[in-house]
A = this chain, B = another copy of it.
Amino acid sequence: MAVRLKDIARDLGVSVVTVSKVLRNHEDIGQETRDRVLKRIKELNYQPNLAARALVTGRSHLMGLIVPDLVHAFFAEVAKSVSQLLRAHGYGLVIASSEEDPDLEKQEIAQMLARRLDVLLIASSQRTGESFRKIEEQQRSYVLVDRRFKGLAANFVGTDDLAVGRMATEHLIENGCRRIAYIGGNTVSTALDRLKGYRSALSSANLRVSGKYTICRAHADDSGDVTGYRAAQELLALSPRPDAIFCNNDPIAMGAIGAILEANLRIPEDISIVGAGNVRYASALRVPLSSIDQDSHALGTRAAELALSLVQPKGDRQPKQVLLQPRLVARESSLRNRSGSLLQPMQR
């Protein structure tokens, strides 16, 4: 059926070893033999069976990526850039979505380990880093992406989330907001750190940090728009009403915007909004959304680079942490007292 090394060897009257060596550019093959083999490989459109190669070499040339939600544009962007860089280095990528469910994520990790994927890249929804110690016990390598765990010294590529929270909050303060609320999660490191940054910015500006204004929801990423919608409704019922909301991510911000407009309030005049992630369509939303950009492309690229370094035998085994700096992209949802409604219309 499919062409094998054996077939080529037989055709040419050489051994399979010779063909195998030509295939992998070994030095010790004569030019003439090499040419004959290459010619035949072309003719038959031979493609090595990577499963067989994986079995003997112990490396599948396949990596795994688990994200909480593939439809969330931020993770889709990360997945895309990881995939691109890996492919450029001859690696394929198995992608799975955990739906923000820790148990499902564990199952997927187990599957990927069984498949002998060379490295796992995981934006984890677990509460603790326990599962990852198990991976380590099996001597398998992995990279945490975007989210990490306290006390787990693992390879990690993510954003400086303290800075994210601080940056968003400071921006809102600079634009005249004083009663700034937060909507986010309370389980994953990104949400916790952003919350911390938010609080620290408030304190620095001598603004009161009020528990009433802090809404933490477990599923802050999955269907974030619904979460944001409901949470914003709660905030609107408060007195005094907040005059700004920092949302843990853009889907939450979208939901919040929906709730606010539905209550016939204006954005940003009555309530300003800042999200995070700066998804592709943030500028096209009902109210163009200010967001803290996390450079999803760089995040994916750096994560893939780190993963590739782990399969290099020379590399040292010290876990490496990469922290990217976020960047504010201000749009209409947070810019008070400015000109028109079409600031930066096509900016991403």
Name A's B-contacting residues (CB within 8 A). Answer: 1-2, 47-52, 54-55, 60, 62, 70-71, 73, 76-77, 79-80, 83-84, 87, 92-97, 108, 110-116, 138-139, 225-226, 229, 251, 254-255, 257-258, 261-262, 280-281, 283-288, 342, 345-346
**What is the bound-complex CA distance between A49 and B108, given in angstroms?**
15
Q: A79-B95, A83-B95, A284-B286 are in contact. Are A60 and B51 (CB under 8 A)?
A: yes
Instruction: Give which listed residue, B51, B94, B262, B281, contacts A93 with CB less than 8 A.
Output: B94
| Residue picked from A50, A77, A287, A346, most chain B C-beta under 10 Å | A50
Instruction: Give which listed residue, B73, B226, B286, contacts A285 with CB less than 8 A.
Output: B286
Q: Which residue of B lies closest to A104 (CB)?
A: B87
Number of copies: 2
**Contact indicator B229/A116 (Cβ below 8 Å):** no
**Contact indicator B70/A114 (Cβ below 8 Å):** no
**What is the bound-complex CA distance between A92 and B62, given in angstroms?**
12
**What is the bound-complex CA distance between A281 and B59, given in angstroms?**
40
**What is the bound-complex CA distance between A110 and B92, given in angstroms?**
12
A327 CB to closest chain B CB (Å) equals 19
Instruction: Name the B residues within 8 Å of A261 (CB-CB).
Output: 342, 345
Instruction: Name the B residues within 8 Å of A77 (CB-CB).
Output: 71
**Contact indicator B73/A114 (Cβ below 8 Å):** no
Q: Which residue of B lies closest to A108 (CB)?
A: B87
Q: A115-B62, A258-B345 are in contact. Are A92 and B93 (CB under 8 A)?
A: no
**What is the bound-complex CA distance between A79 and B70, given in angstroms?**
8
**Contact indicator A80/B51 (Cβ below 8 Å):** no
**Contact indicator B229/A346 (Cβ below 8 Å):** yes
**Contact indicator A92/B111 (Cβ below 8 Å):** yes
**Contact indicator B80/A70 (Cβ below 8 Å):** yes
**Contact indicator B51/A55 (Cβ below 8 Å):** yes
Instruction: Name the B residues within 8 Å of A71 (CB-CB).
Output: 73, 76-77, 80, 280
**What is the bound-complex CA distance between A342 and B259, given in angstroms?**
11
Q: A79-B95, A95-B95 are in contact. Are A114 and B342 (CB under 8 A)?
A: no
**Contact indicator A97/B70 (Cβ below 8 Å):** no
Q: Which residue of B lies closest to A59 (CB)?
A: B51
Instruction: Name the B residues within 8 Å of A50 (CB-CB).
Output: 114-116
Instruction: Name the B residues within 8 Å of A55 (CB-CB).
Output: 49, 51-52, 55
A253 CB to closest chain B CB (Å) equals 9
**Contact indicator B94/A47 (Cβ below 8 Å):** no
**Contact indicator B49/A116 (Cβ below 8 Å):** yes
Instruction: Name the B residues within 8 Å of A111 (CB-CB).
Output: 87, 92
Q: Which residue of B lies closest to A65 (CB)?
A: B95
**What is the bound-complex CA distance between A127 and B114, given in angstroms?**
38
Instruction: Give which listed residue, B48, B83, B284, B286, contacts A70 with CB less than 8 A.
Output: B83
Instruction: Give which listed residue, B49, B54, B93, contacts A95 with CB less than 8 A.
Output: B93
